[in-house]
Structure 1
Amino acid sequence: MLWDVFCQVIDNFGDIGVCWRLTRDLAARGHTVRLWVDDASALQWMAPDVRWATRGVHRVGTLGAITVHPWSAATVADDVPEPGDVVIEAFGCNPPEAFLARMARPAPPRWINLEYLSAEDYVERSHGLQSPVWSGPAAGLVKHFFYPGFAARTGGLLREPGLIAAQDAIREDAALSAATLTDLRIPHQPGERLASVFCYAHAPLASWLDALAAEPVPTRVLLTPGHATRLGEAWAHARTAAGTPPAPHLHLTPLAALSQPDFDRLLACCDLNLVRGEDSAVRALWAGRPHVWHIYEQDDGVHAAKLDAFMARWMACWPAPLARDVSAWWRAWNGLAPWPDALPAWPDPTGWGAATLHARAALQAEPDLVTQLIAFVTRSG
């Protein structure tokens, strides 16, 4: 089938990150995909294997059965190609009117609104519902809501075939993990615990680094580009200015931007992953390592309920003391509670580590998102 995936980059990298993983997974399963995006700049480092060339007045990217087109190329009626078999609007981005008009044909494509990820109850009630269009160029067409999720009555999570096996191979083999870090050009010493940080600007990273500095455990903190690196460097400078430089056992390592496959490998190597948003949070689940989620903050505060809903589902079968302690850290990391007096131990293979793998196994038992999406669009009606 031919799929048209529409993506608008509203903030940060989550929109294009999710859409690119979806696009690559569809192509890997034998489908042809056109990705229409208003800002493809993140693909330069997220997907460096894409080849770019100018076609007419537009710059188009190509990777196998995938082509990446600028959003503007779907806005002029005379330039809009025949829509494919399936049209996906990611996160309710509303495809251009000129493209919608081309969809209004005797046999219109299946039209899917791929929604945001949540563990809240409304997802199971809303998944698969129809949304008839009553006005505009798409009048008479019907789109369906497709909700990712963590329960059987949702669309599942992005998880390409072979991902878990590849992550477990790194996680379970110290030599392979060390070789992977070397390949990623990340310094690491034997006996040194390893954490990655990918966060928003308001993360209380300084409080956590203060706690690490007070623990006499060799630790290396890997800081992703942007907010994490800036916060880490600001903490180190403040400590030095105050006459209390970082402890010799604590090393901060800024990272270069990583492609999506390399970021996945990094998560599998680390003893702890602090991740943000939707895309990296799901990848942290599949890495099988303890993690802390920095949820995207919303002005109306609804992110708090979203975080609580996910913690309740993710930690449902954990020992109560562990769930309490990890939840306290998650809430503090998201500015929803005071900083805890003590943090859960890591690495802890029989505690937090074992609980993480148990929770992951429950999610892995559900069909992945692309498998469910293909089945959904090929059903009649």
Structure 2
Amino acid sequence: MPLLRTRRTLVTIPVTAVLLGLTPAGSPADASAAADTALTLLVSRGRAPAAALLIREETGTRYVHAEAVPDTTPSLPWTAQGSDTTSVRGAPAEPDVTSVPRSPAASGAVSAPAAGSRAGAAIRSGDHFRAGSITKTFLATVVLQLAAEHRLSLSDSVAEHLPGLVHGAGNDGRALTLRALLTHTSGLYDFTAETRGDVPVTPLQALRIAFTHPPAHRGRFAYSNTNYVLLGLVVRQVTGHSYAIEVRRRVLTPLRLTGTSFPGARVFLPSPHGRAYAADGSDVTELDPRVAGAAGELVSTLPDLNRFYAALLGGELLPPALLREMLDTRTAQGSYGMGLYPVTLPCGITVWGHNGRISGSYVRTAATADGRRVLTFRVNTDGLADADLEPALLAAEFCPRTS
């Protein structure tokens, strides 16, 4: 599940680089140094046990990872201790990954939970992890492909495909369009506000929770996982197959995304994978993906996510008219397109992508509008303690040097 902030233009952060000590990237060397420095902050100030960053661009890929040095003294999870022991490593020797020079570690170590509980916290570039609401971009792509095939229309009402399903407490599927679901302007109650993303539910159970609550203001952007649970059912109704099968057939197989999967009810991550930790430090590597379903069950890897967003924004998956529709944020008052959203950085560059939050994992992908440069970073816990780190990292990577 994501923690999606509706504020998209980061003009109030005068590159936040001043605050965090980052220098906006200009040359590839500048970008490497800035990203390397930022990664240490995800671990120290962000209080993540480990972090990793993969950048895809025309000249190749760049991978960086950082881990907190284990502390054998039991303490609160990921608590800064005030010493300089956060480690940063360049990429291991493996195909299509270039080495990144070391940078000085950020001040402030991050201590682990009790001794031994953090084993396996390091992140490798090919590790599988839960991608949370990045699932939505994959699902929206399939819905738009079906629109391109004239098997549905974005102006169709939900009731045309799922008659009688959306009802109760003032909810009415006849008054909602597929476009409203895709753009989060349906007003439907978010079922995860009750389950907190911790309770496995079937799609119908999730909808029953949502439809006991009256809708909010229709037509206004309000992020709700319920929208994409419904879209998953629409895909099944239109195609006769689950959304997982359709995404695999239409996206994963053509792009050869062999590290990406829909686990269904399987609680185990594919190998290789590291460990995942909840905010309280407990190990949540094993997790029932039905806590998220069509709104966030995806498992993926850093290279697969970068390849997917590069292909999508580069026009490989959708006809130009549908891709433009996907990137049109007017329905959602500038906050969201269809399955992805824009962020305008302090330098004026707009990047597109999505974030994903699920217990034990936070991931963020951002790309230039043409898909030629894509960044994905992840931490193996629920999120970052310092909310300024994410926009600062994006600015450091995508903004040119200003001096």
Range class of TM-score, shorter chain: under 0.3
Rg (Cα) greater in structure: 1
- Larger RCO, structures 1/2 (Cα 8 Å, 6+ apart): 2
Structure 1 or 2: more strand by fraction:
1
